[in-house]
Each structure stands twice: as C-alpha cells, then as structure tokens.
Amino acid sequence: MSPDDSRDPAHRDNGHEAAGAAAFVPETEDLEALRAAAADCQGCELFRDATQTVFGRGAPRARLALVGEQPGDVEDERGAPFVGPAGRLLVQAIDEAGIDRDQIWVTNAVKHFRFTVRGTRRIHQTPDAVHIAACKPWLSAELRSVAPDVVVCLGATATRALLGTTVRVMRDRGVVLERDTSLGTKRFLVTVHPSAILRTPDADRPSAYAALVSDLRVAAAALQLLG
C-alpha cells in the first residue's frame, strides 16, 4: 500500500458495511428539516471522508426534478449540487431546452462525494450499489416533498436508483417512461450525465451535447402536455 493509499477511502473501506440512511431521515416533508437532518447522516462510510452532505436545491414545488449521480469535488467543497463544470453545462442545456430554471429541483442519488486520492487531487469514483441503496431514503424523501411531474435521471447511477437495472441510459434515453413507484405513478426520462459530455472527445462533443438538449426538450414538452 502506498502512502496515498493509507488515506484513500477506496482502500480503507469498500462500503459493504453501509447500514443505510433510513434511521437518519425524519418523518417530515419539510425540505429544510430534511436538509438539516441530512447534514448528520452516517448511513454509509462515505460521510467519513467527504467534506459535507450535499442536499438538493431549487424550487420547493418544482415541476421537474433532475437527479445526478453524486457530488463532485467542487460540489463537495461548496455544499451544493451541480455547481462545477458539469453543472454549468447542464444549466446551458436547460436554457437551450426552454426549461424555466425556477421550476426545477436538482439533486443527486448519492449525497456524499466518493473519491480516491492521487497526490493532492481527489478523483471521482462511481458509487457502488450499496451506496445507492444506502442513500435512497434521502432521494425518496426529497422527491416526496417536491412532488415533481417529471423526473430526469442523469446517467446510469440515477437511473439505477430510481428505475432499477432494467432501464439502460443509451437504449432508453429521450422518451418518457411512466412507472408505478413507492412515490406513486411518476414520469421519468433518462439521459446522459453532463459530465459524460465533458469527457467526450472534442470532435464528438457538439453532437453529444445536442443529444442532451434534445432529451431535455422531451421533458419540457411532457411538462407542457401536463399543463
């Protein structure tokens, strides 16, 4: 084990001890009460190394919820979702899709930053299934409170958290899926996470970005149909 590995959360703990967040989630639909409680969550081991819990933000009664994977390095430091490079790209896509930013709620399936340390850098690590399951009570509580008409799953982790393993992002993207869930009947749309576009080679990035905007326009059209 290298000196960096000794302080690397990925080497210290693989997450299989996660007990889940249910014990930390209060029985309330008040978003500020949920936010305050989430700050003390220890439902999985990720809380040990993250700077803070990153709860959702936006309109308390938003018509559209956008769910990503987990906070990144910038989000972990600032305590808000989608405030880094991927967030700026998402805002641009939302605007181009004609979605009113005052009608959205943005959050993540996992509320703590999972990373590995390389020198002085913290490198994103995809959450495991145990982290997604452990954090699901927070996501469910958020969506129950906000009660959006449409939920957009940004990437595979959010899709898995909300729709299970039978839905595939690249196969099922850009169409409205109606599902009966523990939150009642909900309309979902899956698309790529904006960070995937940032990782796309320069030559292919414009078309990848245009596809994201196109998917978001489908969500906007669904909201219009619902009135």
Which residue, chain included where needed, has tokens 């959010």? Answer: 158
Q: In Å, how far are 1, 13, 19, 79, 97 from 104, measured between CA atoms?
A: 45, 35, 31, 18, 13
Q: Can you read off the two tokens belonging to residue 49?
A: 């190394």
Q: Residues 18-74: pLDDT tens digits?
A: 679 999 999 999 999 999 999 999 999 999 999 999 999 999 999 999 999 999 999
Predicted confidence (pLDDT) at residue 6 exceeds the cutoff of 70? no
- Name the residue with tokens 């996470």: 193
Distance from CA of residue 44 to its chain's centroid?
Answer: 17
**What pLDDT is recorded for position 178?**
94
Which domains, ranges and CATH numbers included, belong to the chain?
A: 5-226 (3.40.470.10)
Task: Give pLDDT tens digits for 89-138.
Answer: 999 999 999 999 999 999 999 999 999 999 999 999 999 999 999 999 99
Q: What is the DSSP string of 212-225?
A: HHHHHHHHHHHHHH
Q: pTM of the full predicted structure?
A: 0.91
